[in-house]
Structure 1
Amino acid sequence: MTALIIILLILLGVLLLLLEFFVIPGVTFAALGGIVLLVGGIYLSYHQYGATIGHITVFGTVVLNILSIVVVLKTNTWNKIKLNAEIDSKVDKLDDIDVNIGDRGICVSRLAPMGKIKVNKRIMEAKSLGTYIDERSEVEVIDIVDKVVIVKLK
């Protein structure tokens, strides 16, 4: 019965690590859980069956991990469920700025510290000086740096 538990712990740990590598981006509970399950299975093997079986379990776990990664990469198993999103949007840069320092406008959205303002009948993105400015507040353009409009509360 203990051998079955060890095998299940190791297989579940390998599955969680595969999910982490190919499906879930970043370090999540899947990776941590997979490592804990693998270490738990190896520890249980050493504890119940001794050093020889423990060494065999460690070697088998390493081989199983490498083999499973190779098989998954070769067969494209995870292509159906892996994350394939690409970011193709761009921030609108002001090419023809018709905004001057001293112009006044109104916040279309909250500036925290970035948001949308309406100046000279044109809606554009603006940045405050680190303070939050509520929607529908009157603002004044104080600077334009690298085509980014910087405003302050009027």
Structure 2
Amino acid sequence: MLFETLIIAFLMVVAIVLVLLEIFMLPGITVAGVGGFLFAAGGLIYAYSVSVWMGNITLGVSLLVFIASFAWLLRSKSFNRVALKTDVDSKLVSSRDLGIVPGDEGITLSRLAPIGKARIKGITVEAKSMDELIDEGTPVEVMRVDGYNVLVKRKNNS
């Protein structure tokens, strides 16, 4: 009976560790999550094969240990060293808010095929060609400003 209890305890501890590792450290469904599920299923099946009483105790104790470990890990600062903590504090500014209006002129910084970068009034913006591909370094004229898109066309040299 002692040997069977040790086997069940080992299987359930490994299952709990793998599932917690899956939840807190590994993104998506990985080998740890599948392995944790298989170890838990194997431990419970083995416990219930020993006796129903042993299976019920294993299920109850395993759930309590898992919930306690999960709560402790959520509250502790254990994963602060490995967790992603990047905050995005930038915001997207509309081209209209930058003061770009139809008729302004600029130059392409990259090829517009049909979208690329252009510098208009000294400001680098994302520009969209209205009708053709425009090579880098080509003078352009703003035709329309739609929110975050600046629609441009090749500047006429006449």
Deviation readout 1:85-125 (Å, 9 max, x if unpaired): 212233343223335279675352676x8642344664212
Q: Map 1:35-54 onto structure 2 (within 5 A).
A: 35-46=37-48, 48-54=49-55
Alpha-carbon distance in 1 for matches of 2:134, 2:10: 55
Q: Distance in 1 between matches of 2:63 and 2:39?
A: 14
TM-score normalized by the length of structure 2: 0.63
Distance in 2 separating the partners of 1:151 and 1:18: 53
Deviation at 1:65? 0.6
Seen in structure 2, the aligned counterparts of structure 1 residues 79 and 99 have a Cα distance that, compared at 3 Å, is: same
Query: Secondary structure of 1:42's match?
Result: helix
Aligned to 2:99: 97
Q: How many positions carry a matched residue from both structures?
A: 148
Give 1:136's aligned residue.
136
Find the aligned partners of 1:134 and 1:9 in 2 and give their Cα distance: 64
What's the C-alpha RMSD, in Å, of the aligned pairs?
Answer: 3.8
1:97 and 1:37, CA in 2 relative to 1: closer, same or farther beyond 3 A? farther
Gaps of 5+ in 1: none
- Residues 37 and 93 of structure 1, relative CA distance in 2, 3 Å threshold: farther
Equivalent residues of 1:127, 1:151 under 8 A apart: yes
TM-score by length of 1: 0.64
Bigger CA radius of gyration? 2
Deviation at 1:21, TM superposition (A): 3.5
In structure 2, C-alpha distance between the alignment counterparts of 1:136 and 1:72, rounded to whole Å: 53
- Cα offset, 1:55, TM superposition: 1.8
Change (3 A) 1:22 1:100: same
